[in-house]
Chain A
């Protein structure tokens, strides 16, 4: 059945998914200040929960049926209206629910609902309660727009919308200067990425004349991707890399990741929702959405994979020395996003989305747990609630938080059977076995090795965090007085921990020898229609050669790789226990002061990324800006343009004040003088004359009697044959009297007289001109004329 025309309250039903949170945002942002807190969060949670319920109905009700019919890739497409139509450029405000966006809307709405509920407890004392929930709802609407978009411009609306909400929520406590700065930083860094995103979009439109995903996916325009564009590289490479730079900004990848750690200035639920579970994964989602484009260029793929790997490694390294609870989690997020991009860069779309989902659960759980810890610490009286050096021993005070945090740590470290194990293992296995055409054959192994190191680091720093927060003894008074958070905060933790445990079950690896129940491969079969499974590489005949992306590995390889990954995770935990099992040990201090001092410094200073940017971009920019300020602003604009124009105006006003003195009589004198001048000028041409020109076989004579205005009473007579007497038309015998006269060339001589009679003065003016005519055509007019 076709659901494309399904409507609810006059709008396509898909539009209601983003619209519900947007309506909530509208109410809360406009009227929320007058509402009671209960009303505010009822509206906010209600709208998001309704969107969640609607998404579930859409996915499990409608899309499920379409999927079973084999139309999971097409899904449900609905257009709200035509947004703009310029020439052959047509953009619909259209939404499409296919199996890929279905996964995303479920994650977004579900996690979003939980975090809204959590926020009621966490933000209970916030004075700008309504604004907070309004922004959160606005974010949900924008994110759902991004996910459901059926074309790139609509996706870009969501893309910018989530960026805006991110800015608003990071700087939510803008009274603190550094928080506001963090918000601005996030916005500016994102703008750099957005600019590249736009460039990519323009490039795609230039090449294909369309921006609709379904049309872009079709083979009709697909041939454009393999056209050489720049330096012999395919057009797909340029477009995909441009779009990927946009994804780098949004998903905090090297080199645009610096905003995400600073973004922890926002409220913790915001970090959980925007900067861990949903918005930062938008880049991954976009790459998977455009899988057909990326699969057309292995150059773009290798860029994506390499950037992902480097980010995963660098962020894991930076996380080692952080002492702020949320900063560690932020670097962990950056690192995990790197994992996802490696998956996307190796064509392992399913693994990317799978890890996106599991990461959303366990990272949201971790962040919410961190929020719970900080909440508890704050109640204990801490002024720096996020400082892990003052924690320790919290297992006694916050049992639920501790259990859920531990489960999530196990998941992120990749311990069987938690969700992270399956998703991370699939990424590792995928990069081990991938052989994109054009890549060095060993490059997949390099990726695998790098990711393994990053996974080791992940397990280590996450468990370092866990041990420092929950194990050992309390290292401060505040920690002793910490207590468990209210149920509104622990309940989402429990649900998320449950999901972090179980979500892996839908993504078991494919084994040939053991027959697993079909639900264990649910995700890959579910996503299969929406992502491409072959390299787009047409042969000489232009037909796609359909080389499969994922090679099939043997069971032994799969199990072996899984065992290695598990071992690495366990090793990381063991190392963390060794150094931090009972709080910070003396060993650590010795290492940090001794052989690892420089590495520690580097990690602490985030590899000096901010400093490099400051030196390479910010300072030159400031120098240029101050130069522009001195030259352009102060000299040209202020002195020359503004003051100069004032001086000129002053000068002219001093002159015109002589006339504009308020005396109406003087104005009238000006009017009269002006009228006289008009008459004088129109009368200027006083000498009467006439013009002539040749039109066809005729001579056109135009009298200019000289008064400027042809006096109505003035009579005109023409003498065209030069005998001194006025002539008449030979045919009608009527005298020539009109100011404009056409005569046959043959009837004229070279001398023409014009007589102008003035009946008042009785004076006749005679004008004589000698015409310079071209040699007449030999007597033809005479013969055919009269």
Chain B
């Protein structure tokens, strides 16, 4: 039932992103609008804030909606016992993040976030969840009441402190902060000409990635190769017969009892100085 609700939420979110995407992508010539507005309004806004979309309150509400999706999904991940539910919360969170990226004029990254994260990586997670197929016994690690209290207090304090600090972050140039980022001048197809592309578009990011970031890009490709080889090497059974062994011979319940017994024996050994 929960899963169903989650999927519905996801679809709704997707639809919402779809709805606002044109508005975000068009990147209105905001400076003219600001200049036309009365001076009072400008001073009121430019005091401290950079309005991403300065037309009305709709954009702000959208931000709050996606922020809520992000945070809610994240909380879902952390609190759910059901692994599939956690993964779905994660997907929701990622979709929210993707939308937030769009608000930051990072259109390419937004798409990548959706494709790679919400698409590929989360599918991987789902597969692993299916392999494991075991609900967690205890959702919260038993680190002691005092530890939990102190840790919780620390996190709450950090949250408050960070909010107070980060809310004061001031853009370097308040005059242009509210503007949509200026298009990037790139060399055109014909030598000697220039071409203006949108900030954060595939082409703009690509020029940066394959220009100054080329070495890092190549290094990352090697890293990915290593990760693929490593993942195969780790996940492969050590012996051919191990796969047969790993076939569940007992019911999960017996299994858990067996593991518990083994743990108890090990603990007893540890306490009686069974170790060297």
Q: Which residue of B lies closest to A762 (CB)?
A: B47
Q: Which of A140-148, A447-455, A710-718 forms contacts with chain B?
A: A710-718
Given the known inter-chain contacts A673-B150, A676-B157, please indicate yes or no for A712 contacting B168, CB distance below 8 A: yes
Q: Which residue of B lies closest to A669 (CB)?
A: B151
> In the bound complex, what is the Cα–Cα distance between A683 and B160 (angstroms)?
12
Cβ–Cβ < 8 Å partners of B48 in chain A: 713, 759-760
B147 touches A669 (CB 8 A): yes
B169 within 8 A of A: yes
- Chain B, interface size category, equals 10 to 19
Considering only residues 145-175 of chain B, those with a C-beta below 8 Å from chain A are: 147, 150-151, 153-155, 157-158, 161, 165, 167-170
B129 to chain A, nearest CB (A): 21
A673 touches B168 (CB 8 A): no
Cβ–Cβ < 8 Å partners of B147 in chain A: 666, 669
A675, A709, A759: which contacts B47 (Cβ < 8 A)?
A759
Q: Which residue of B lies closest to A682 (CB)?
A: B161
B143, B153, B165, B168: which contacts A663 (Cβ < 8 A)?
B143
A757 to chain B, nearest CB (A): 10
Cβ–Cβ < 8 Å partners of B157 in chain A: 676, 679-680
> In the bound complex, what is the Cα–Cα distance between A760 and B49 (angstroms)?
10
B141 touches A683 (CB 8 A): no
A514 to chain B, nearest CB (A): 95
A760 touches B151 (CB 8 A): no
A238 to chain B, nearest CB (A): 64
Cβ–Cβ < 8 Å partners of B150 in chain A: 669, 673
A656 to chain B, nearest CB (A): 15
A679 touches B143 (CB 8 A): no
A37 to chain B, nearest CB (A): 54
B51 to chain A, nearest CB (A): 15
Cβ–Cβ < 8 Å partners of B161 in chain A: 676, 679-680, 683
A672 within 8 A of B: yes
Cβ–Cβ < 8 Å partners of B153 in chain A: 676
Cβ–Cβ < 8 Å partners of A666 in chain B: 143, 147
A733 within 8 A of B: no
B141 touches A665 (CB 8 A): yes
Cβ–Cβ < 8 Å partners of B47 in chain A: 759
Q: Which residue of B lies closest to A713 (CB)?
A: B168
Contact flags A651-686 to B (C-beta < 8 A → 1, else 0): 000000000000101100100110111011001000
> In the bound complex, what is the Cα–Cα distance between A396 and B168 (angstroms)?
116
Contact flags A693-713 to B (C-beta < 8 A → 1, else 0): 000000000000000010111
Considering only residues 535-560 of chain A, those with a C-beta below 8 Å from chain B are: none
Q: Which residue of B lies closest to A665 (CB)?
A: B141
B48 to chain A, nearest CB (A): 5
Q: Which residue of A lies closest to B147 (CB)?
A: A669
B168 touches A676 (CB 8 A): no
Contact flags A633-665 to B (C-beta < 8 A → 1, else 0): 000000000000000000000000000000101
A712 touches B143 (CB 8 A): no
Cβ–Cβ < 8 Å partners of A677 in chain B: 154
Cβ–Cβ < 8 Å partners of B151 in chain A: 669, 672-673
A281 to chain B, nearest CB (A): 64
Contact flags B35-54 to A (C-beta < 8 A → 1, else 0): 00000000000011000000
A504 to chain B, nearest CB (A): 80
> In the bound complex, what is the Cα–Cα distance between A713 and B177 (angstroms)?
14
* Most A Cβ at <10 Å: residue of B141, B147, B158, B168: B168
Given the known inter-chain contacts A672-B155, A676-B154, please indicate yes or no for A760 contacting B167, CB distance below 8 A: yes
The 10 closest A-B CB pairs, nearest first, are A713-B168, A676-B154, A711-B168, A673-B154, A669-B151, A712-B170, A759-B48, A679-B161, A676-B157, A676-B158
Q: What are 20 A-B contacts with C-beta separation under 8 Å?
A: A665-B141, A666-B143, A669-B147, A669-B154, A672-B155, A672-B158, A673-B150, A673-B151, A673-B154, A675-B158, A676-B155, A676-B161, A679-B157, A683-B161, A711-B165, A712-B168, A713-B167, A713-B168, A713-B170, A760-B48
Give residues in B with beta carbon < 8 Å to A.
Answer: 47-48, 141, 143, 147, 150-151, 153-155, 157-158, 161, 165, 167-170
List 10 extra interface pairs beyond A665-B143, A683-B161, CB under 8 A. A663-B141, A669-B147, A672-B158, A676-B154, A676-B161, A679-B161, A713-B169, A713-B170, A760-B167, A760-B168
